[in-house]
Structure 1
Amino acid sequence: MGHLTFLTGPTRSGKSRRAVEIAGGWGDDVAFVATYPVDPGDAEMVERVRRHQAERPPSWRTLEAPERVADALCALDPAPAGALIDSVVLWTATRFERPDAEIVAAWEAELAGLKAAPFPSVLVGDEIGWSPVPMDASLRRFRDLVGILGQRAAAAADEAWLIVAGCPVKLK
């Protein structure tokens, strides 16, 4: 069974950098899963992706926003040494038009698939509920969904870490 590590924390806290450090310990053949299809017209997001890519070894394979992350990873041939999935928030955003129960069920299936994979995985989450309650109902729903999915990820994970100001704090 695959060892699952969950990293969470606020924006720009160092989560992705820490995830790359962990996954880098597994060797040169890591699969990176980008959970959000980038619009080439979104210059800021394109630049953000470019910065993240520069932090990863060039030998890593990239899967861009597959519908079923765990299934896509397990179908890779040869199997990767490990997988880095970034991020829960972006995964949620690509499914946000679906009903909550469907999103949560799909997330549970992803977590089960990652736990059953024959390689370790590191999953990057986000703590977006630390600020004031959003005025917009849609934003409150998104915040709540991300919180629920983060709780599920932490419960399923073998290790869970909070990253704040670049410092990891072990949760479990």
Structure 2
Amino acid sequence: MAHQLIFVLGGARSGKSTYAQTWAEEHGERVLFAATAQAFDDEMRVRIARHQAERPAGWTTVEAPLDVGDAIRAALDGHDTVVVDCLTLLASNALLTLPEDYTQEDATAAVLAEIDGLLATYAASDAAWIVVSNEVGMGLVPPTTLGRLYRDALGRANQRVAQYADEVLLLVAGLPWRLKG
């Protein structure tokens, strides 16, 4: 498996996670799956359980709502493929650590710190990585300050990962559209 970073973007229910999982099943031998979701309610617990059941039994899963780069580094030994699903929730988790009156600069710094840790771990590894995130900048402008702070911070994070990535795909209705690579 060649050292590469594939970045998969798309809207909600666009097929991003399915694409990433299928790619890892077809190309990886020893897959490390980094899950960033946190179950704050019953609906999310059901989603997480469904995603866990859909993963191949032989994969290693690391639950990493924060500090995902460090969590992957600690579990990476022997794995040739890493799936990170997803930056969307990682960004949300990072913002939840901030005080209530945070600014756009605070939000962006917190999210980019997570991204930089992730990219540093990627750079130090020999594995192929496939990273999933939502494209949140193509819809309506969020009506709340919190929504706009989140959208802008995640947009900057997506730009950073896309710059670094060897390949960038946008999933629309389950179909990949190659943006880079």
Taking structure 2 as the reference length, the TM-score comes to 0.86
**Aligned residue number for residue 101 of structure 1:** 109
Change (3 A) 1:90 1:38: same
**Aligned residue number for residue 156 of structure 1:** 164
- Quick one: distance in 1 between partners of 2:73 and 2:94? 21
- Quick one: distance in 2 between partners of 1:115 and 1:146? 21
1:116-139, CA deviations, whole angstroms, 9 ceiling, x for partnerless residues?
312111000101222211111111
Moved more, 19-28 or 69-78: 69-78
**Aligned residue number for residue 126 of structure 2:** 118
In structure 1, stretches of 5+ residues that fail to align are none
What is the deviation of 1:109? 2.8
What is the deviation of 1:111? 1.4
**Aligned residue number for residue 30 of structure 1:** 31
Structure 1 counterpart SS, 2:83: strand
In structure 2, stretches of 5+ residues that fail to align are 99-105
User: Residue type matched to 1:18 in 2?
Assistant: Y
**Aligned residue number for residue 133 of structure 1:** 141
What is the deviation of 1:77? 6.4
- Quick one: distance in 2 between partners of 1:124 and 1:75? 20
What is the deviation of 1:27? 3.7
Residue 165 of structure 1 pairs with residue 173 of structure 2: yes
- Quick one: distance in 1 between partners of 2:63 and 2:12? 21
- Quick one: distance in 2 between partners of 1:155 and 1:37? 28
Taking structure 1 as the reference length, the TM-score comes to 0.90
Change (3 A) 1:12 1:3: same
User: Residue type matched to 2:173 in 1?
Assistant: A
Change (3 A) 1:5 1:38: same
- Quick one: distance in 1 between partners of 2:135 and 2:65? 23
Question: Does the CA-based 8 Å contact 1:7-1:123 persist in structure 2?
Answer: yes
Same amino acid, percent of matched pairs: 38
1:31-78, CA deviations, whole angstroms, 9 ceiling, x for partnerless residues?
111112223xx1211121122223210111111115332332232264
- Quick one: distance in 1 between partners of 2:80 and 2:117? 21
Question: Does the CA-based 8 Å contact 1:3-1:115 persist in structure 2?
Answer: no
Count of residues in correspondence between the two structures: 170
User: Residue type matched to 1:54 in 2?
Assistant: A
Change (3 A) 1:114 1:78: closer
Moved more, 11-20 or 25-34: 25-34
**Aligned residue number for residue 102 of structure 2:** none
Question: Does the CA-based 8 Å contact 1:17-1:55 persist in structure 2?
Answer: no
